[in-house]
């Protein structure tokens, strides 16, 4: 909450081991995602096999879950996507609705092809902030729903959950979470000629 004078109070600081910028270069690109429920998911190169998900009111409860180069939280914060340099995409969800306990039960694979972009399919829920009403006491006055179609829908217009990913060689893969819990995946190339990259 803003203090007197409109300034925000600092609640806490999370500090990690630091290296001089001149000597430290991360071995992998680092990624961070933040949900509207104040869940933060991040990758780190401090230990190459860690990815964390933490709840802001308790930043000390970091939960190491998976090694990854990309991460993306569902806007509700209930699910997390992670992708690595081997093309492995995992969908994580809270175990028993606990923010410090995550499990991966489904995913998809584009073998040996690093993922360069990753996102959830849009569920059709979009809110617009009315800046001129930012001082209003009612949440409903500050925000309004914007007409926006989901990326994909089931019969009856219910949004379908899933994700889209793009690989370094130009493959686009879309995975859908069926109501039965199974994953349906389709992959197409963005270019006529696709050359898989290999690393020494």
pLDDT average, residue stretch 131-145: 77
The answer to the question of residue 79 being in a domain is: yes
Task: Provide the b/e sequence for 65-91 (b: ≥16 CB within 10 Å).
Answer: bbbbbbbbbbeebebbbbbbbebbbbb
Least Cα distance to 47 among 77, 17, 85, 3 occurs for: 17
The structural domain count of the chain equals 1
Is the CA virtual torsion 181, 184, 190, 195 positive or negative?
positive
Q: Does the residue 2 lie in any domain?
A: no
- Judge whether residue 105 has pLDDT over 50: yes
Domain that holds residue 103: 32-121+160-189
The Cα 65–Cα 101 span in angstroms is 9
Q: Average pLDDT, stretch 181-189?
A: 86
Instruction: Considering only residues 169 and 49, tell me which one the structure prediction assigns the higher pLDDT.
Output: 169
Q: Is residue 166 part of a domain?
A: yes
Determine the pLDDT at residue 27: 54
User: Does position 17 have pLDDT exceeding 80, yes or no?
Assistant: no
Q: What is the CATH number of the domain that holds 88?
A: 2.130.10.10
For 26-54, what is each residue's pLDDT tens digit? Answer: 555 667 777 766 777 776 655 444 444 44
Q: Which tops the pLDDT comparison, 144 or 106?
A: 106
Instruction: Give the chain's mean pLDDT.
Output: 72
Question: What band does 175 get if pLDDT is binned at 50, 70 and 90?
Answer: very high
Query: What is the band of 197 on the pLDDT scale with cuts at 50, 70, 90?
Result: low
Contact (CB, 8 A) for 189 and 162: no
């Amino acid at each position: 909450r803003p203090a007197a004078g409109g300034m925000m109070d600092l609640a806490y600081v999370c500090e990690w081991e630091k290296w001089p910028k001149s000597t430290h270069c991360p071995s992998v690109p680092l990624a961070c995602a933040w949900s509207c429920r104040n869940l933060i998911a991040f990758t780190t190169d401090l230990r190459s096999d860690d990815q964390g998900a933490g709840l802001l009111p308790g930043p000390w409860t970091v939960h190491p879950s998976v090694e990854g180069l990309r991460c993306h939280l569902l806007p509700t914060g209930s699910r997390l996507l992670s992708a690595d340099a081997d093309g492995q995409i995992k969908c994580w969800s809270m175990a028993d609705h606990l923010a410090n306990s995550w499990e991966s039960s489904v995913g998809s694979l584009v073998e040996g092809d690093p993922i360069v972009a990753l996102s959830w399919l849009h569920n059709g829920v979009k809110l617009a902030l009315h800046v001129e009403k930012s001082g209003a006491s009612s949440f409903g006055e500050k925000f309004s729903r914007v007409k926006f179609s989901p990326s994909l829908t089931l019969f009856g217009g219910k949004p379908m959950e899933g994700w889209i990913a793009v690989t370094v060689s130009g493959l686009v893969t879309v995975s859908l979470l069926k109501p039965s819990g199974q994953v349906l995946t389709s992959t197409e190339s963005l270019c006529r000629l696709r050359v898989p990259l290999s690393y020494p």
